[in-house]
Amino acid sequence: MKDLFSVKDKTVLVTGSSRGIGYSIARGFAAAGSVVLINGTSGESVKKAVKQLLSEGLRVHGIAFDVTNPAEVEKNIEKIENSVGPVDVLVNNAGIHRRAPLEDMTMEEWNKVVEADLTSVFIVSKAVAKYMITRRAGRIINITSLNAEAARPTIANYCAAKGGLKMLTKSMATEWGKYNILTNAIGPGYILTDLTKPLSDDPSFDAWVKSEVPLQRWGQPEDLAGAAIFLASEASKYINGHTIYVDGGWQACL
């Protein structure tokens, strides 16, 4: 029982972990004793994040690749499996926004977001699951959003992608449970990162978040690490296909 929540010595790949929520989840796993792989498209940002975490005495490696590029993903997953170790836990966190009113949204804005926030999870999970299936073990955690449940103007591409990701999570749980691969999701609420800076910089939106969220504050990236560690540990070994919303209670009063 004492190791119920342990993730010690697990190899954990967190996509999009050079900053923001991914960085805090990666840092949380590493602080709990995991070996963590830091990812992003910018090699410079990945290096900077790795340097910081190494200076804290944590076990991390950097691996820059674009999660929307199937050939790059295949090559880099193979590299991780052969040089760092078997991926025990995959956190599909990388994501982007391209905001525009629906009637003005371009095909490029639509496609970019669906590719980065939904298709990438199919690409990376398939590449990692190939190895997890042979081992009959694995945990996959998809970072969705409150916007998988509730829409907001100017982010129809994002809402569609995250709603799709909620169902992809259930599909992965349904098809890969027989291989002892457990797939769940975390749906963050309003968290202070670069992605939400345009919103937190807007005084009326900032006031709206603080008045609507029962905890009366924005979430911090560190608020997500606990749920991710729980979903990777023995403590959650019969939980498969669910989403945990880490939103300060916002969804409770929608």
Which of 31, 83, 40, 55 has the alpha carbon at shortest distance from 228?
A: 31
Strand order in the sheet with 89-92: 60-62, 35-38, 11-14, 89-92, 138-143, 181-188, 243-246
DSSP string of 129-186? HHHHHHHT-EEEEEE--GGGT---TT-HHHHHHHHHHHHHHHHHHHHHGGGTEEEEEE
Q: Looking at the annotation, which residues are catalytic?
A: 158
Binding mask 18-57 for ligand NAP (x = CB under 6 A): xxxxx----------------xxxx--x------------
**Interface with ligand NAP, residue 67, by CB under 6 A:** yes
What is the closest distance, in whole angstroms, from the C-beta atom of residue 22 to ligand NAP in the complex? 5
Nearer to ligand NAP, 179 or 198 (CB): 198
Task: In angstroms, give the least distance from the CB of 137 to ligand NAP.
Answer: 25
Q: Is 143 in the site for ligand NAP (CB under 6 A)?
A: yes
CA distance 25 to 223: 9
**Among 20, 123, 128, residue whose Cα is nearest residue 70:** 123
Nearer to ligand NAP, 95 or 138 (CB): 95
Q: Around 31, how many Cα atoms within 13 Å sit in the side-chain half-sphere?
A: 14
Among 13, 60, 63, 66, binds ligand NAP (CB under 6 A): 66
- Applying CB under 6 A, among 31, 96, 151, 235 the residue interacting with ligand NAP is 96
Q: How far apart are CA 252 and CA 223, in angstroms?
A: 18
* 245 makes contact with ligand NAP (CB under 6 A): no
Q: Residues 147 to 206: which contact ligand NAP by CB under 6 A? A: 188, 190-191, 193-196
Q: From the CB of 229, what's the least distance to ligand NAP, in Å?
A: 16
Which positions touch ligand NAP (CB under 6 A)? 15-22, 39-42, 45, 66-68, 93-96, 116-117, 143, 145, 188, 190-191, 193-196
